[in-house]
Amino acid sequence: MPNQSSMKTAGPKKRAVSLDLARGTMLLLIALAHAPLYLYTSEPGIMQRVEAITFLDQIVNFFGQFFIDNRARAMFAVLFGYGLVLAFESRISKGIREKEAIKTIRRRSWYLILFGIVLAVIIGGQDILMAYGTAGLLVSWLLEREIKTLIRTFIFITLFYIIFGPIMWGFNMLEIGGYGFPPEVSATDTYFGTALISLFTFPSIPILIHLMFPVLPSVLLGMWIARYQLLIKPEQHLKIIKLITILGLTISLLGAMPLSLLGTLWHPSPFTAGLMNGFHILTGIAGGLAYAVIFGIIGTKVQKPGSLTLSLMALGKRSLTFYVWNETTLVLFLSPVALDLGGRVSNGTAAVIAVGIWCLSLLLAWGLEKKDLNGPLEVLLRRLVYRNKQIPGVSQE
């Protein structure tokens, strides 16, 4: 019998260590990816990376180009796709018909979009929930189809991005006329002014994300590895997991090299720089997949998790709550509408702030775990999705 308390867990339900660890780590990568977007007084560097001033800035930019940019987003998408399959299978295991289970997935996706609107408009954070909610709506029909259909759909959509993605980025950078994006915020921004603009522009956010970034291929890859339970039962698939890890990381690192040379050893036209950014994004799909399955290997090694591992797992269980929390805290510290540190610090310091915010999330998640409490947004989402039904405790969904 599930606990009737809205915030209490239902008891010691078994979870996949690898999946929770992946989600918890993902939040760190996303925080590091979003922090530079608030640095409005720094000169543009390469793409979303601002110009490096100190040695720490150089390290952060180098690390970001190779391991974070366009890789954290892909990892998020892979884990999101994995979660869709888990949510669907969870409903089926309870005797729910496939059509009804898909309706539930779609309802959940709509509410994710709503959460994203609140994050973008009211909080003013960097939102990706709308894009992933939209992805859930677009791919939900594949949950009841054979894996062959899933693979064909992945191939078709990925070919579209391979052909048109770099070209779109080439023209985008040609219009900008440089290698880096201008800042998204300014010293004159106010909360009400920013919120008003976001109120009218938020519908374009998921459209632009899906147009310029290959979110759907990564979501479909997540659904594919979920069909084989690579993260739920990694011990049964270690050979394929190791193969995916080696190939994925190799492709990802090689794909990041051209972008790392821009502005230093290589000075091509803005159009060519855009093509290289498109290439960087495409190879990030492999990186995001590799990041996700690496935790399958890690999961098999965790026998007696220590405090750090348990805290990271607690964070992963509550990834929705702490994604929004991290974005809110980044706005509080860095945005010109709040404490405005984004106008005073460099990229390296912003990265330190992002890591600090994530560490605070670890402590808060551990506190909730010790008190046997779910994340507030996870509870709210389940109440909205399942309406008047009893709310189960923590699940793999």
Bridge partner list, 8: 373
Q: Which residue has the tokens 């960097």?
A: 126
Q: Are 280 and 70 in contact (CB under 8 A)?
A: yes
SS3 (DSSP) at 184: coil
What the block records as the tokens of 324 is 């929004």
Please list the pLDDT of the chain residue by residue as tens digits (397 residues).
334 333 443 333 446 788 999 999 999 999 999 999 999 998 899 998 999 999 999 999 999 999 999 999 999 999 999 999 999 999 999 999 999 999 999 999 999 999 999 999 999 999 999 999 999 999 999 999 999 999 999 999 999 999 999 999 999 999 999 999 998 899 999 999 999 999 999 999 999 999 999 999 999 999 999 999 998 888 888 899 999 999 999 999 999 999 999 988 899 999 999 999 999 999 999 999 999 999 988 888 887 888 899 999 999 999 999 999 999 999 999 999 999 999 999 999 999 999 999 999 999 999 999 999 999 999 999 999 987 454 444 344 4
> What are 86-89's contacts with CB under 8 Å, separation 24+?
86/226, 86/232, 86/396, 86/397, 87/397, 88/143, 88/144
Indicate whether this model's pTM tops 0.85: yes
Q: How far apart are the C-alpha atoms of 148 and 150, rounded to whole Å?
A: 5
